[in-house]
Amino acid sequence: MNRIVTKLGFAAAAGALMLAGTAVDARPRLTGEEQLAKLLEGRVAGKPVDCITLPNVQSSSVIDKTAIVYGSGSTIYVQRPKTGAETLDSNDILVTQLTTSQLCSIDTVQLRDRNGGFWRGFVGLDKFVPYTRPAKVALAN
């Protein structure tokens, strides 16, 4: 009898996991533009710059078919490539070959597949748009 109860318990748990996985997959996936808008929520765009200093960059992420985002301290730099943006995939590894410590709007970035490591193409960069949170204004009493 205990074996039957145990088997039924495992079957119920497996069924619940399958249903939970289906519910998660049923959520609508955000477009690249929607993902970027959510990431930039509460931030203000600054004047575009030609280059960013890579040693200051602490993170980077790819937003599908939209942009590459570089994090540097409290600033987020959004790179919307001039060419190849439609090939960007969040599963890509970014490969840059630089001669200086800066990544600039005249550079290109190779895209490699994270799983197989094969070359997927490249993007031609444009200016980097910095986004920061506005300074809080102290209220006078």
Domain contains 91 = yes
42 and 17 housed in the same domain: no
Name, in order, each residue with C-beta under 8 angstroms of 61's C-beta and a sequence gap of 6 or more: 68, 69, 90
Identify whether residues 89 and 113 lie together within a single domain: yes
Residue 83 and residue 63 in one domain = yes
State whether 47 and 17 are in the same domain.
no
Length of the chain in terms of residues written: 141
Task: Based on the fold, state whether residues 104 and 59 are members of the same structural domain.
Answer: yes
Same domain, yes or no: 13 and 74: no
DSSP line for 48-116 = -BSEEEGGG--EEEEETTTEEEEEETTEEEEE--SB-GGG--TTEEEE---SSSEEETT-EEEEEETTT
- The answer to whether residue 95 scores a pLDDT higher than 90 is yes
pLDDT at position 53 is 96
Mean pLDDT calculated for residue range 88-100: 91
Q: Which domain holds residue 5?
A: 1-30
Encode pLDDT of 50-59 as tens digits: 999 999 999 9
Closest Cα partner for 40 from 1, 6, 67? 67
Cβ(50)–Cβ(105) below 8 Å: yes
37 and 26 fall within a common domain: no
Q: For residues 122-138, give the mean pLDDT.
A: 91
**Do 43 and 23 sit in the same domain of this protein?**
no
